[in-house]
Structure 1
Amino acid sequence: MRSPVQPTTTARVQDMFAQSAAVLTRPSPATFEQFERRSNLSSALIYVMVAAAVSAAIAAFFALFHSDVTFFGQLLTRLISVPLTFFVFTGLVYLIGRTLFRGTGTYPEVAYSFALFFVPLSIISTLIGVIPVIGWLAMFLITLAMIYFGFLAVQSSMNLRDPVSAGVTLVLAGLGQLAAAAVVGGVLGGLFAVGRLVTGN
């Protein structure tokens, strides 16, 4: 007997991929706003976990060909770091936009809006990021695209139409996310190092 949850989850992901296509092909705050009324945190989480699963699977596969990284290490790291990084960053966007510039959006609207471009671009960057030379160039272009779509998403989800307010919110959230990522990366790296010492690998 098929679980009643699975069709709902599949439908959510398919619907959000369609919304992502609209956002990526018609980039503007108005396009993001078309989908804000459908926003909910659980859908954003499910969608981001799709990107995390793809990233983890690819990283774990290529870990099989490198002796300096482990299959399960890459798998667990990506499954944890991708959603954690995303929700820390969007949480900072919400807090900074609301506190410093009196943005009127809600956190589910922020997370949902950012997920619409983050997930497809993250999957694309993971798929082509393993290609030498071309991968680095693609990663640079995708990073620029992330910044551009993030700027539009801040304007829409937090209702910050002033470009300076939206830009400052995005930059401060990015700096905060980098600091948080460094801490989390250090903790995870330490745990894996301890694990290797214990197991002798």
Structure 2
Amino acid sequence: MSKPTRYQTAEVKATITDMFAQSSAVLARPGPATFERFERRGGTRHALVYVGLAAVVSALIAAFFAIFHTDVTVIGQLISRLILIPAQFLIFTGAVYLIGRKLFKGTGTYPEVAYTFALFFVPLTILGTLIGIVPVLGWLLALLISLVMVAFGYFAVQSSMNLRDQGSAVITLVLAGVAHWLLGSVVGGLLTALFYGG
């Protein structure tokens, strides 16, 4: 039996508790160096479990507050968030990986991209859901969360795809954002028609 690589050994040890701690470190000290510390401590499976947790928590929060609004349904909030949050994550991280690799010869792997992005995506998604329920200022605070995600995404692209050139990292992020928006609009439109249409 061959000796496990550093990545394989680290991936086995990743737990939700570890990911929470790593998320805290990333949020406290954002930058490529912080992401580099953690990018090989988990893989795609761990990232998806973590994102799934964010989807469940966000869905439950949104469903609870949907009880008090007549224009949305509890089931609609539950199902749409359980589908949209993982779908958005997969679309965006997949685009980052493909664009960074094909256009700029990035040397990162998809598991590194997925795990790195999950570390900030999960806590900020949950925070965004909580902020979204705040009357009047909710949209403004949600916009602020989106801008924070962009900043963390920039550092994550530099780290996970090894794109230290600022231009390459920015273009990768922008193009991934466009791909995310286009595909997300289609999926979101279908879900909206299904749950909120007449």
Q: TM-score scaled by structure 2?
A: 0.89
Any unmatched runs of 5+ in structure 1?
A: 1-10, 197-201
Per the TM alignment, residue 131 of structure 1 is displaced from its structure 2 partner at its CA by 0.8
1:26 maps to which of 23, 26, 29: 29
2:108 maps to 1:105: yes
SS at match of 2:15: helix
2:44 maps to 1:47: no
Any unmatched runs of 5+ in structure 2?
A: 1-13
CA distance in 2, matches of 1:192, 1:129: 19
Q: What's the Cα RMSD here?
A: 1.6
Per the TM alignment, residue 191 of structure 1 is displaced from its structure 2 partner at its CA by 2.9
Residue 79 of structure 1: aligned partner: 82
- Amino acid paired to 1:94: Y
Per the TM alignment, residue 115 of structure 1 is displaced from its structure 2 partner at its CA by 0.5
- Amino acid paired to 1:184: V
Residue 195 of structure 2: aligned partner: 192
Equivalent residue runs for 1:91-170 within 5 Å: 91-170=94-173
SS at match of 1:38: coil
Does structure 1 retain, via aligned residues, the 8 Å contact 2:67–2:74? yes
Per the TM alignment, residue 13 of structure 1 is displaced from its structure 2 partner at its CA by 1.1
Residue 3 of structure 2: aligned partner: none
CA distance in 1, matches of 2:139, 2:188: 21
User: C-alpha deviations, 1:83-132, integer Å up to 9, x for none?
Assistant: 00111100000000000000000001001000000111111111122112
Does structure 1 retain, via aligned residues, the 8 Å contact 2:73–2:195? no
- Amino acid paired to 1:114: F
Q: TM-score scaled by structure 1?
A: 0.88
Per the TM alignment, residue 193 of structure 1 is displaced from its structure 2 partner at its CA by 5.8
Does structure 1 retain, via aligned residues, the 8 Å contact 2:76–2:196? no
User: C-alpha deviations, 1:19-63, integer Å up to 9, x for none?
Assistant: 011111111111101112212111101110111011101111111
1:65 maps to which of 63, 68, 73: 68
Q: How many residues are treated as equivalent by the alignment? A: 186
Per the TM alignment, residue 158 of structure 1 is displaced from its structure 2 partner at its CA by 0.2
Per the TM alignment, residue 190 of structure 1 is displaced from its structure 2 partner at its CA by 2.9
1:56 maps to which of 51, 59, 63: 59
CA distance in 2, matches of 1:82, 1:39: 20
Runs of 4+ aligned structure 1 residues displaced above 4 Å come to: none
